[in-house]
């Protein structure tokens, strides 16, 4: 969230530098920050991998990927400057000798800097390696300065509340809480960040932001793609753990949080934890009433035949893993009493679309209530992707001689203001370089988020859904999700 340039010399150590995340997101993000003049004047990217690669080979590999995934064009001049900061370093994750060699390399960089530089460790690896790396970092004193050394952890952060607590305890043996950056790339998206500015920077909306004026809130993250090459991973995860426990609950926190006293990271994260604690826990006997799961079967996506989830590579023929999840939450606090928060996410759905819908209550009495004209609900829609805009829907007079009303929209289009919008990882990596924790999850946030979905998770893992597959690829999910909102007279927008 900070617009400043990182200044202190920094070495960025990427574990898993040859992996998919590094090539698609991390190196393009660092390259774009470099082009924009946001990287520290003295910085090095130490790319760790198990293979015996040369520097030249690895840099060519990075350049090829930048040409495919960077939002900025690759020029010979920019690349020459950027690649000079990259060093490939062979590392075996489970061998302490590799970490001792890494320690020597970091000290070499410090000599070049002329000072003890910051160290940013990025764990772009599977969650099963986190404990191994953390222990070796501790044993070799690689992150001995709590003010200068930071670690970024990718999701999934645990697989349930107990494992998340154990992982937090493990990391606490090596790092202070202010050193740990648990990353959720959804919080780096421009329109998600804009929620704070929109809510707390405008006097016309904040007074309406409560149960007296808002009827319901919807959060949808729909994907056209299936599991692709991630079948084995997804079989152990599912939509609830993959999306709702982290992404959607974090967006919910941004929408529902109380006004922070300041933009200081601790203050904002405190308000988010307050939201998670206020979410009414769903009892085990009420899971089917408040939550719906689904699994896609065969269907048509964009005019092309699509196979079902159980026909994907690495998926069991009788898989009980959900590829769709919808939940109705309530917040037991003064601001949001009795306002339903509907969240849903799914794969192989009709279209790729992530958005938030705030639906306002109708007027208690309208001048037009006795007329034959239909009054559409007032809505505020915040589109996250692929659209990036904020739309206010309201009624207005249709031009002409008769007094006829029609629904209209006022739109703030992010692309119209700035076509070349930074990627989410650019925002988050810059914040990590600056030491700004605002958009990163704290240990208590993670544990509370797992607690929110605990009973749903347990019910779905222990009870097989005999209706699977229960929605066609290319649809909006199972019919039960429609019933979930229609029970209270609502519709998915």
Binding residues for NADP(+): 16-23, 50, 155
Spatial separation of the C-alpha atoms in residues 124 and 145, rounded to whole Å: 22
Spatial separation of the C-alpha atoms in residues 27 and 140, rounded to whole Å: 27
Spatial separation of the C-alpha atoms in residues 483 and 288, rounded to whole Å: 12
Please state whether beta strands 214-222 and 341-346 pair in parallel, antiparallel, or not at all (unpaired): parallel
Would you call 247 a catalytic residue per the annotation? yes
What is the distance, to the nearest Å, from the Cα of residue 9 to the centroid of all Cα atoms in its chain?
Answer: 28
Binding residues for substrate, as ranges, are 185, 189, 223, 242, 347, 352
End-to-end CA, the chain: 30
Cα–Cα–Cα angle for 151, 157, 158, nearest 5°?
Answer: 135
Q: Spot the catalytic one: 247, 289, 353, 490.
A: 247
Please state whether 272 falls in left (phi above 0), alpha (psi between -120 and 50) or beta: alpha
Alpha helices in 402-442 (DSSP H): 414-417, 424-434
Residues 55, 83: contact at Cβ < 8 Å?
no
Helix (H, G, I), strand (E, B) or coil at 99: helix
Give the single-character DSSP code of 118: E
Residue 375, Cβ density class (10 Å: 0-12 exposed, 13-18 middle, ≥19 buried): middle
Spatial separation of the C-alpha atoms in residues 62 and 34, rounded to whole Å: 15
DSSP string spanning 173-210? TTS-GGGEEE--GGGGSHHHHHHHHHHHT-TTTGGG-S
Spatial separation of the C-alpha atoms in residues 300 and 26, rounded to whole Å: 34
What is the distance, to the nearest Å, from the Cα of residue 51 to the centroid of all Cα atoms in its chain?
Answer: 30
Q: Among all residues, which ones are annotated catalytic?
A: 247
């Amino acid at each position: 969230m900070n617009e400043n340039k990182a200044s202190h010399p920094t070495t960025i150590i990427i574990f898993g530098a040859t992996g998919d995340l590094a090539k698609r997101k991390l190196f393009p993000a660092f390259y774009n920050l470099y082009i924009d003049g946001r990287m520290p004047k003295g910085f090095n990217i130490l790319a760790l991998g198990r293979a015996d690669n040369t520097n030249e080979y690895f840099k060519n590999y990075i350049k090829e990927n930048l040409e495919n995934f960077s939002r900025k064009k690759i020029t010979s001049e920019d690349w020459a400057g950027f690649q000079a900061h990259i060093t490939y370093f062979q590392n075996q994750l489970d061998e302490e000798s590799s970490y001792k060699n890494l320690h020597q390399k970091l000290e070499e960089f410090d000599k070049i800097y002329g000072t003890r530089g910051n160290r940013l460790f990025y764990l772009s690896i599977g969650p099963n390696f986190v404990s191994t790396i953390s222990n070796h970092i501790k044993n070799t004193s690689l992150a001995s300065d709590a003010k200068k050394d930071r670690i970024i952890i990718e999701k999934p952060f645990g697989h349930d509340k107990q494992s998340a607590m154990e992982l937090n305890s493990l990391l606490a043996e090596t790092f202070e809480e202010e050193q740990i950056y648990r990353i959720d790339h959804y919080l780096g998206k421009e329109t998600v960040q804009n929620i704070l500015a929109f809510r707390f920077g405008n006097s016309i909306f904040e007074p309406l932001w409560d149960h007296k004026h808002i009827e319901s809130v919807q959060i949808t993250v729909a994907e056209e793609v299936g599991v692709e090459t991630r079948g084995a991973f997804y079989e152990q995860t599912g939509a609830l753990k993959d999306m709702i426990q982290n992404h959607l609950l974090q967006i919910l926190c941004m929408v529902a949080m109380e006004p922070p006293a300041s933009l200081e990271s601790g203050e904002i994260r405190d308000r988010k934890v307050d939201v998670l604690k206020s979410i009414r826990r769903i009892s085990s006997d009420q899971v089917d009433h408040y939550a719906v799961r689904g699994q896609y079967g065969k269907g048509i996506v964009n005019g092309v035949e699509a196979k079902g989830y159980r026909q994907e590579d690495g998926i069991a023929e009788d898989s009980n893993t959900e590829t769709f999840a919808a939940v109705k939450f309530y917040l037991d606090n003064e601001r949001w009493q009795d306002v339903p928060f509907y969240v849903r996410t799914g794969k192989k759905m009709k279209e790729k679309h992530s958005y938030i819908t705030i639906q306002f209550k109708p007027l208690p009495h309208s001048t037009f209530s006795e007329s034959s004209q239909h009054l559409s609900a007032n809505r505020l829609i915040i589109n996250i992707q692929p659209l990036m805009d904020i739309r206010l829907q309201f009624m207005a007079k249709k031009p002409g001689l008769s007094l006829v009303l029609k629904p209209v929209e006022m739109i703030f289009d992010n692309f119209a203001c700035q076509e070349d919008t930074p990627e989410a990882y650019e925002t988050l990596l810059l914040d990590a370089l600056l030491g700004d924790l605002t958009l990163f999850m704290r240990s208590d946030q993670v544990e509370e988020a797992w607690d929110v979905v605990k009973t749903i998770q347990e019910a779905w893992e222990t009870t097989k859904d005999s209706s699977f597959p229960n929605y066609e690829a290319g649809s909006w999910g199972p019919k039960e999700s429609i019933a979930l909102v229609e029970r209270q007279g609502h519709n998915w927008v």
